[in-house]
Amino acid sequence: MSGVTMEITRRTLVVLLGSALYEAGSKPARAQTDALPSWNDGAVKKSITDFVARVTTPGTADFVPPAERIATFDNDGTLWCEQPFYFQLAFAFDRIKVMAPQHPEWKTTQPFKAILDKDMKALAASGEKGLGQIMTATHAGMTTDDFRQAVLDWTASARHPRFNRPYTDLVYQPMLELLTYLRANGFKTFIVSGGGIEFMRPWVEMVYGIPPEQVVGSSGVVKFEMGANGKPELMKIAKVEFVDDGPGKPVGINRFIGRRPIFAFGNSDGDWQMLQWTAAGSGARFAGIVHHTDADREYAYDRPSKIGQLDKAWDEAKAKGWTVVDMKQDWKTVFPEKP
């Protein structure tokens, strides 16, 4: 079979797969269905669809073979909400409450007492040291299997304080559509997050359609051991191994993916170097930023924010002509409808 024929066959398959995916959603299958219905028409949406058209049109200078269509997404603030606190922190605090019966000493020991008493002042006073103790207590000293189960229990039961919905409901509908649209066009979608890799993997496949092996994140040391039952175990150790944030993101991409993305999306200065690394490759490149401008439907924050600060990356986006999503203006909806 000639290369050209194969290429046409594959494109046909991709198109079929794409329409099948759209059909699986809510929209009736018809020609010219909008793959990004939650994105308002405008320059931002057009920058995405134009880029995808450029790199997927065979025989053009910008064509990129499917194997090289790597797209990376930050998670906190890019695929799901990160306010009023990183959701992984909410998990850690909730976990302290679940674990408390096994730790009677926490009733009188900070920073645990502060969480059990809902004493935010005392919690803040415990500072970085206190946060480290909370992360150690909730993220180490158990097997990877047990930690996975703890995360799944939490995603099933916990509710966001403002929206009163499961945290995994507070993902951005337009970004879900973007992930599906890219995959339908032969892209391989990855998460590259400063969040914990073991915290994301249990639920990202169900929520984003991204399998665990396409998740890059921060991690603690894990140790192989023979368990008491003669079965091998992987124990989570209280030691940071890799911080996948800022300059760590291109490093994490290199380590886990081994290819430079052609498409990357972030929302904060923690994504700055990932966007630089992506944009600096040869050929067509897409670098995008979600700017949180919608205090009514979500949150509004950028330069002075402690969570998800967007400052240097925003300046470079303006200078380099990267795509900056104005959430209020560019997104028709923010979160998926309640089931």
**In this chain, which of 174, 194, 196, 248 binds its own copies, going by CB under 8 A?**
248
User: Which of residues 189 and 305 has its CB atom nearest to its own copies in the complex?
Assistant: 189
The vertex-20 CA angle with 215 and 80, nearest 5°, equals: 35
Q: Residue 218 is encoded by which pair of tokens?
A: 């921060």
Q: Report in angstroms how near the CB of residue 212 gets to its own copies at its nearest.
A: 3
Identify the residue among 105, 128, 213, 296 touching its own copies (CB under 8 A).
213
Instruction: Please state the closest distance from residue 327 (CB atom) to its own copies, in A.
Output: 28
Question: Using the rule CB under 8 A, is 231 a contact of its own copies?
Answer: yes
255 is an interface residue for its own copies by CB under 8 A: yes
Residue 173: partners with Cβ closer than 8 Å, 6 or more residues away: 38, 331, 333, 334, 335, 336
State which of positions 70-89 bind its own copies (CB under 8 A): 70
238 in contact with its own copies (CB under 8 A) = no
**10: Cα separation from own chain's centroid:** 29
Considering only 65, 127, 141, 321, the residue that binds its own copies (CB under 8 A) is: 65
Residue 336 is classified by DSSP as: P
259-318: contacts with its own copies (CB under 8 A): 259, 273, 276-277, 280
And the tokens for 141? Answer: 């000293």
The distance of closest approach from Cβ of residue 113 to its own copies in the complex, given in angstroms and rounded to an integer, is 34
Neighbours of 187 (CB within 10 A): 23
Tell me how many degrees the CA angle 70-75-77 measures, rounded to the nearest 5. 130
SS3 content of the chain, % helix, strand, coil (to 5): 50, 20, 35
Contact between 116 and its own copies per CB under 8 A: no
Q: How far is CA 311 from CA 63, 74, 76, 244, 261, in A?
A: 33, 16, 16, 19, 23
Q: Is 3 in the site for its own copies (CB under 8 A)?
A: yes
- Residue ranges in contact with its own copies by CB under 8 A: 1, 3, 6-7, 9-11, 13-15, 17-18, 21, 65, 67, 70, 144, 188, 190, 197-198, 201, 205, 211-215, 219, 222-224, 231-232, 234, 247-248, 250-251, 254-259, 273, 276-277, 280
